Amino acid sequence: MKLKKLNPVTNGTRHKIKIQKSLLSKNNRLFRPILSEYKNTSGRSSLNGNITVWHKGGGVKKLYRSVDTLTEDTNSVVLATCYDPYRNSFINLNFELLRKKFFYNTATNSVYPGSLLKNSLNISELKLGFRTRIKNIPAGSIIHNLTTNNNSKAQYIKAAGTSGQILQYNSKTAKIKLPSKKIIQISTENFATIGIVSNTQSNLTTIGKAGTNRNLGKRPTVRGIAMNPVDHPHGGRANGGIPSVTPWGLPTKCGFYLRKKIKNK
């Protein structure tokens, strides 16, 4: 995918940089049986309507696409690469050849429609997009969609353009370098996909206007000092050197916690 800078016809497009999605499938809703219903993301409680998560609400309605983690033996072919409103990475629409069913999975970079994907506990050949246990992948390989427990959902390396690396492993455990440069040690029985997550240029895009964030369901964030005294301890522009606090008056710096840390004896 390429980056596309819009012509400054309006103020909203003057600084906007987006990803050119001309290679993505335009028939995402043809497969309604594998699409879930709209999920409410208003940030309010369904019981009393109180705000439970701030800065959420509104936005365009969107259908949730369930992504398969692929922990069973499968042979599938990629039919299309689709946009997913709930993820910053793209997803692939696959057709499983043996069970004859459709499913979604996270798209791997440089894996295009028509490619054959394989998932197996014991695999002999390794290609981009293939998924298997860590013990079957050579050390130094680039991986993503890493699981932490056997037959569980992927926990690590799922964001667009991210990848991890297998540093070393023995008969039981392996050391994996995450995108945050942190090194974790997990069992070699866990699954991982070879390659980098798709949409590698996602971090280079520019929103361009506030209305785009409103369509994504993000409401504005207001500073405490810009509020009235009844709304926030910093309100009224007369905080008088008060340390940074939450709207309920609790400190927000210097590692303050209401719950005391349990010290190991």
**CATH number for the domain including 96?**
2.30.30.30
Q: What are the helix (H) ranges across the chain?
A: 210-215
pLDDT over 90 percentage in the chain: 48
Q: What is the pLDDT of residues 167-221, one digit of tens each?
A: 998 888 999 999 999 999 999 989 999 999 999 999 999 999 999 999 999 999 9
Q: Which of 68, 59, 142 is nearest to 102 (CA)?
A: 68
With beta carbons less than 8 A apart as the criterion, state whether 245 and 234 touch. yes
Residue 228 domain-assigned? Answer: no
Other C-beta atoms closer than 10 Å to the C-beta of 71 total 18
Same domain (yes/no): 185, 259? no
Could you list the beta-strand ranges (E) of the chain.
Answer: 3-5, 17-19, 35-38, 63-65, 74-82, 91-96, 101-106, 116-119, 131-133, 142-144, 146-147, 154-156, 164-169, 173-177, 183-187, 191-194
Q: Which residue has the higher pLDDT, 138 or 149?
A: 138
29 pLDDT above the threshold of 80:
no
pLDDT band for 68, please (50, 70, 90 cuts): confident
Residue-range definition of the domain harbouring residue 27: 3-203
Same domain (yes/no): 57, 175? yes
> Would you put residue 92 in left (φ > 0), alpha (ψ -120 to 50) or beta?
beta
* pLDDT of amino acid 25: 85
Indicate the range of 35-44, 88-97, 165-174 predicted with least confidence: 35-44
pLDDT band for 45, please (50, 70, 90 cuts): confident
Rounded average pLDDT over 66-89: 87
CA–CA dist 224, 247 (Å, integer): 8
* pLDDT of amino acid 184: 93
Rounded average pLDDT over 113-141: 90
Residue 191 domain-assigned? Answer: yes
Cα–Cα separations (whole angstroms), residue 192 to 90, 164, 231, 234, 245: 18, 10, 48, 48, 42
141 pLDDT above the threshold of 70:
yes
- Residue 7 is given by DSSP the state P
Same domain (yes/no): 87, 184? yes
Same domain (yes/no): 24, 87? yes
Same domain (yes/no): 108, 190? yes
The H or E element containing residue 179 is none
pLDDT over 70 percentage in the chain: 92
Same domain (yes/no): 153, 105? yes
Other C-beta atoms closer than 10 Å to the C-beta of 233 total 19
**AA identity, residue 176:** I
Residue 255 domain-assigned? Answer: yes
Same domain (yes/no): 165, 95? yes
215 three-class SS: helix
Q: Name the domain boundary from 203, 222, 251.
A: 203
* pLDDT of amino acid 124: 81
pTM: 0.83
Q: Name the domain boundary from 185, 203, 221.
A: 203
Rounded average pLDDT over 14-21: 91
- Structurally, the chain folds into a number of domains equal to 2
Residue 225 domain-assigned? Answer: no
Same domain (yes/no): 93, 165? yes
* pLDDT of amino acid 37: 67
Same domain (yes/no): 58, 187? yes
pLDDT band for 152, please (50, 70, 90 cuts): confident
Q: Name the domain boundary from 180, 203, 226.
A: 203
